[in-house]
Amino acid sequence: MKCIILLSFCCLIWFASGIQIDCENAEAINEEHIHYCCKHPEGHNDIIEECAKVTNFMLASKNEEALVDITADRAIRGTCFGKCVFSKLKLMKDNALDMDAVRKYFTEKFADDPEYVKEMINAFDHCHGKSEENTSMFLSKPLFKQMSQHFCEPQSSVVLACVIRQFFHNCPADRWSKTKECEHTLAFSKKCQDSLATL
């Protein structure tokens, strides 16, 4: 009986000391650091830098110009930036994501990292199927209705935000940074999907 009580007590302490998630406290999550949690081969990108300048979109730094270095929240607000990037990378065809172009781009650009290619193509493929639904949700938000003259066609940025979320959530274990901040952010994003629109 003493063993059962002791074991129960130990389990309770272990459970209580685990990551505590408060879905009401989204401010505790530093989205600007999310891209450090899942290592990827991209760095400087001339197209992304050019589109950021043209559309006044703020990038984290000159060395962090990959699609997945951008927070999903900033991607969704940067509709003109997303449209510019997807247009220059030739990922859109007739106002729709061209999955053949996506496959070609990632397969050719990152031929030496097939795992990254697979994860990005999977993320785009998942988001491609949801892009119409997600774009409709975005267009129905009061912020978009009030400021629609400041936005471009949002489909590219909606897909980009979705890809960032997918890449983050499906990061291969060997690429994942096991820091406390990264573990907490992932746990928060999985438990509190409605609290943090960007993840």
Helix axes 114-140, 155-169, angle to 10 degrees: 130
pLDDT of residue 39: 82
Residues 71/36, Cβ–Cβ less than 8 Å: no
Give this prediction's pTM.
Answer: 0.70
SS3 state at 154: coil
C-alpha closest to that of 176 among 39, 42, 70: 39
Distance, CA of 26 to CA of 24 (rounded, Å): 6
Residues 160/67, Cβ–Cβ less than 8 Å: yes
* pLDDT(9) > 50: no
The chain-wide mean pLDDT, for the chain, equals: 73
Q: Which class is domain 30-191?
A: mainly alpha
Mean pLDDT of 101-111: 95
Q: Mark out the alpha helices in the chain (DSSP H runs).
A: 2-16, 46-55, 72-77, 79-88, 99-109, 114-140, 142-146, 155-169, 180-191
pLDDT digits (tens, 9 = 90+) for 133-186: 555 555 555 554 444 455 677 788 888 888 888 888 888 888 888 888 888 877
C-alpha closest to that of 75 among 91, 86, 89: 86
Share of the chain above pLDDT 90, in %: 18
Which residues share a beta bridge with 65?
none
C-alpha closest to that of 87 among 169, 173, 155, 3: 155
| Higher local confidence (pLDDT), 28 or 187 | 187
Q: What residue spans define the domains of the chain? A: 30-191
Token representation of residue 52:
């950021």
| Range in 2-16, 25-39, 91-105 the model is least confident about | 2-16
pLDDT of residue 155: 80
Residues 123/67, Cβ–Cβ less than 8 Å: no
